[in-house]
């Protein structure tokens, strides 16, 4: 049976390619999702991408992941630094969760240095641009393989 991965894109990521390309690059969210899907196909992983600008909608999607997915990759965007609700939703999961950021949040404004999720996720990837999503997929694939061996 194929593993299923949910990729959650947070607020303003629907504006990628238009929003601060010097920080986030010129790829659109549709292009990033196509790259994610292509990489997952190579690894025989089923993937679903989801984007919302609304905190409660993201919380609900994380809650649904508990029963429907084997791992979550989340770019919480601005909610990284503020959302106790998203943190609490992640705590409900007993599957791998990878936090991802296109930019290195630790090289940005001081208020961005704190992640509300970093201590409750499996791992964090930041600063590698869109390649970070491929790294996150590879990470969950390696976790799946390790679980299968044990």
Is 54 tagged catalytic? no
Q: Which of 24, 54, 81, 133 is catalytic?
A: 24
DSSP state of 98: E
Q: Which residues pair with 97 in a beta bridge?
A: 72
Token pair of 35 as six digits: 């790259």
Which ranges in the chain belong to alpha helices (H)? 21-24, 29-42, 55-68, 84-91, 131-149
Is 79 tagged catalytic? no
Q: Which of 9, 54, 81, 101 is catalytic?
A: 101
* Residue 30 φ then ψ, to 5°: -60, -40
- Which residues are marked as active site? 24, 101
């Amino acid at each position: 049976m194929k593993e299923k991965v949910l990729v959650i894109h947070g607020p303003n990521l629907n504006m990628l390619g238009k929003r601060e390309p010097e920080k986030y690059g010129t790829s659109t969210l549709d292009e990033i999702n196509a790259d994610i899907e292509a990489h997952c196909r190579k690894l025989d992983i089923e993937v679903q991408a989801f984007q919302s600008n609304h905190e409660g909608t993201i919380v609900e999607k994380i809650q649904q992941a508990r029963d429907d997915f084997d791992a979550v990759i989340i770019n919480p965007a601005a909610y990284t630094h503020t959302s106790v609700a998203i943190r609490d939703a992640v705590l409900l999961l007993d599957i791998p969760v990878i936090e991802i950021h296109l930019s290195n949040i630790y090289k940005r404004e001081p208020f961005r240095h704190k992640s509300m999720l970093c201590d409750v996720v499996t791992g964090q990837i930041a600063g590698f641009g869109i390649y970070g999503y491929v790294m996150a997929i590879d990470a969950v694939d390696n976790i799946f393989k390790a679980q299968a061996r044990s």
